[in-house]
Structure 1
């Protein structure tokens, strides 16, 4: 209930901030010592939120489907791509974290490059991935455009999982590790019985970050590669009508934001049963 009330309070604060600034802000923007620090509040740059909501119910084109249906279909398309990239990124991040925890030389040699990988701009990476994968095929099945977008999503998703899970795997106290050694438990049994359960409080925040990063990667990948059908492409298409129909642009942005929240919420649903069992065990031990 606290989370629900917190989410509703945050949404109400956002609406109040948006509409309040639009009411008191300058149409040409707020400037300080000649430098614009706040955006313009005219209807072309910053439409009312109720205008955006109303636009969702209007047809995209004359006689066409309503905007909300077009945005929903685009979000579902991008969600499928995001799910594939998220799963691949989590798998890669999990394997890297396990290897770095097992072998200190791999952690010292690989972790700096894992961090460095996130400094590469996606706008530059997406064409490279599209060019490298253009000639790939899986037997009779050629490489598809959506696979390129999923690869970009996985590229962003693996980093928080690798770093967060590594921190969690290294979190058990020395006394617990020594106890497992006294029982002659090998690395795998110690990993499953001690390190992995101890890493859950670190893993789920990392998964939420990975889910949001995967959505960002999918949207940017769709924009960079020109993949049609997703919310990223829809943002570009609607942006062309920004001067004549500004509320239409914000409908696509709203869809992308809701998609990111939905992915993070899905991860939170997975967290509830696992962390509830952990809390029960901790209470019993205490």
Structure 2
């Protein structure tokens, strides 16, 4: 009975939060003047005209409006699918790089002391400034006789955001086993690799999975921003720009595109849920202490 209530609560809370946001949106549109509210020449509440703040139902019904040879919904589905593949690619790249760096830092203490600060600082670099550099460098690369494609730049840029939570979370997890547990395996003549596979990796799973969820969200954000920054067509990021340029009297298409991008993030996070299901046997933290300063 408790398990059933927990499952209902897990679904009910997000749905309830969404309904609350919708109710607040419509309440603001009903009560706030069309031109908004200003004090001292500064607007403190937004305009509520349809051009600035459409009704919620209009955001959904606009999906059926024509957009060239397709409907708006079909356009958003196609562009979201393109970005979905790029976000998953970025997540995969970021996960591989993050796990590799975490293993390297756990193995060698001097690498952690020298590299970890730069990993943290790397996230302060604005993505919009990094995107043109990656696109420019990528244009000079040829892989197996094939030229660099624009989508490759987007995947690399998005993975730049995705690798960070994986690297930090995985490092903490790899350092989770107690010194006594590590020494026990050493007493059995276990090699570093055996200790990594049979002790550190299972202990790292409870830290790795939340980091992977953060990386999934970051990969979607990175992909959308990279599409906008590099001007690459075909994805939901570029479609947001297109609809924003069309939002003169009705911004419902723009909000529909933003909603599609949000749902895209949920879809990528859903893929991570499959990994959580596969690793559920390791999902509970072991009762071990930190060994960050102990045996490596």
Residue among 265, 271, 286 paired with 2:276: 271
Moved more, 103-112 or 30-39: 30-39
Q: Map Cα deviations across residues 138-193 of structure 1 (whole Å, 9 max, x no partner).
A: 13210000000001011111001001111111112232222222222221111111
Deviations along 1:65-118, whole A, 9 cap, x unmatched? 111111000011111111111111110001001111111101110001001111
Q: Paired residue for 1:103? A: 108
Q: Distance in 2 between matches of 1:119 and 1:169?
A: 25
The aligned residue for residue 10 of structure 1 is 17
Task: Give yes or no for the alignment of 1:73 onto 2:78.
Answer: yes
Superposed counterparts of 1:49-88, under 5 Å: 49-61=56-68, 64-88=69-93
SS in 2 for 1:86: helix
Which range is displaced more, 92-101 or 38-47?
Answer: 38-47
Equivalent-residue separation in structure 2 for 1:198 and 1:133 (angstroms):
38
Alignment partners' CA distance in 2, 1:268 and 1:12: 24
- Name the CA distance, whole Å, in 2 between partners of 1:223 and 1:249: 14
Q: Which residue of 2 aligns with 1:20?
A: 27
Counterpart pick for 2:157 among 152, 176, 185 = 152
TM-score (norm 1): 0.92
Distance 1:230 1:173, change over 3 A: same
Residue of 255, 258, 262 corresponding to 1:257: 262
Query: Quick one: distance in 2 between partners of 1:169 and 1:24?
Result: 54
Tell me what 2:4 maps to.
Answer: none
Q: Does 1:201 align with 2:206?
A: yes
The equivalences for 1:72-221 within 5 A come to 72-221=77-226
* Structure 1 match to 2:292: none
Q: Structure 1: which 5+ residue stretches go unaligned?
A: none
Q: Does 1:42 align with 2:46?
A: no
> Unaligned regions of 5+ residues in structure 2, if any?
1-6, 287-296
Cα distance between partner residues in 2 of 1:134 and 1:25: 50
Distance in 1 (CA, whole Å) between partners of 2:171 and 2:158 is 21
**Distance of 2:96 and 2:44 partners within structure 1:** 42
RMSD: 1.8
Aligned residues: 279
The alignment partner of 1:112 has SS state of helix
Q: Using the TM superposition, name which of 31-40 and 159-168 deviates more.
A: 31-40
| Contact preservation (8 Å) 2:173, 2:205 | yes
Cα gap change, 1:132 to 1:280, in 2 (>3 Å): closer
Structure 1 residue aligned with 2:237? 232
